Copies of this chain bind each other. A is one copy, B any other.
Amino acid sequence: MTTSFAQEGDIVLLLGKDKREFMFRLRTGAELHTHRGVIRHDAIIGHRWGEQVKTHIGYPYLLLQPSLDKLIRGIRRNTQIVYPKEIGYILVKMNIAPGVRVIEAGTGSGGLTLALARMVGPEGRVYTYEARPAMQALARRNLERLGLADNVVFHLRDIAEGFEEREVDALFLDVREPWHYLEAVHAALRSGGFFGALLPTTNQVSELLAALEQAPFGFVEVEELLLRAYKPVPQRLRPEDRMVAHTGYLVFARSLFVPTPIADHADDAPRSTNDEDV
């Protein structure tokens, strides 16, 4: 992040005037083929960030380091990814910061993994669970490509068997039926820790909320984020014609302290404060 010039191994983003983008890793001897001509990687290496580079027919592209936003959108994937707008909000709501230990499941293509790995830094750790070997391999390659794999522990395991870690600061579930795993979630989180989930349908949200009411979690919140982009034209400022209308509902909760086994003291268990505000 600190060098001024593009180097072998860097992930670069080329942006054309036609708004087409290319994101790739610089490798000596390689070539980028665009519909506007060819650029040799060697002709990019050594250029300053923010400069123009040109194809063999002279079409210019802007040379940039990708933002986290671009990296997330640009990873190789064969699953629906968590969108940057949700990822940013997850970071703020779940207190993700340097040094934090966080569990995530499923790994998927690794988009959220990559954001978490970047934010917790080398002092923190991301523990990511995935049951499908091919999916894990894809995510691992995505993280390694970005030099972030050292911050991540990859588990190849069904979370129905529980999580290995204890006393983690935060735990995020991007799985179809998160309500099945709340006991394991509670066992892995430190008391007061942050739980989050992303769910596409209202039925899933209702089911998760019902399960949270029966489990030692409190301070439950459900939110959704809508992102609207504008055409950046000063004399004709207006929103884009179309937008993403839905990526998912975010559910957040805090883990509560349970002095004795849940089964024995169900009635004493701390309850969601939301029980009563209906």
Binding site for B on A (CB under 8 A): 1-2, 4, 15-17, 19, 48-52, 62-65, 67-69, 72, 84-85, 87-95, 97-100, 115, 118-119, 121-123, 167, 169, 190-194, 200-203, 205-207, 209-210, 213, 218-246, 249, 251, 254-257, 270, 272-274, 276-278
Contact = CB atoms under 8 A, between A and B. Distances in A.
A62 B273 contact: yes
B239 A230 contact: no
A254 B64 contact: yes
A94 B118 contact: no
Provide the main secondary structure of the chain A interface.
mixed
Assembly stoichiometry (copies): 4
Contact of A201 (B118, B236, B245): B236
A250 to B, nearest CB: 10
Contact of A237 (B222, B223, B242, B254): B222
Given A119-B119, A241-B246, A242-B242, 10 more contacts: A1-B95, A4-B190, A67-B92, A84-B93, A85-B92, A85-B225, A203-B236, A209-B234, A225-B225, A232-B272
Contact of A243 (B4, B87, B245, B278): B245
A202 B238 contact: yes
Nearest to A60: B270
Nearest to A245: B243
Given A51-B257, A239-B246, A209 B223 contact: no
Contact of A209 (B63, B88, B207, B237): B237
Contacts of A236: 200-201, 203, 278
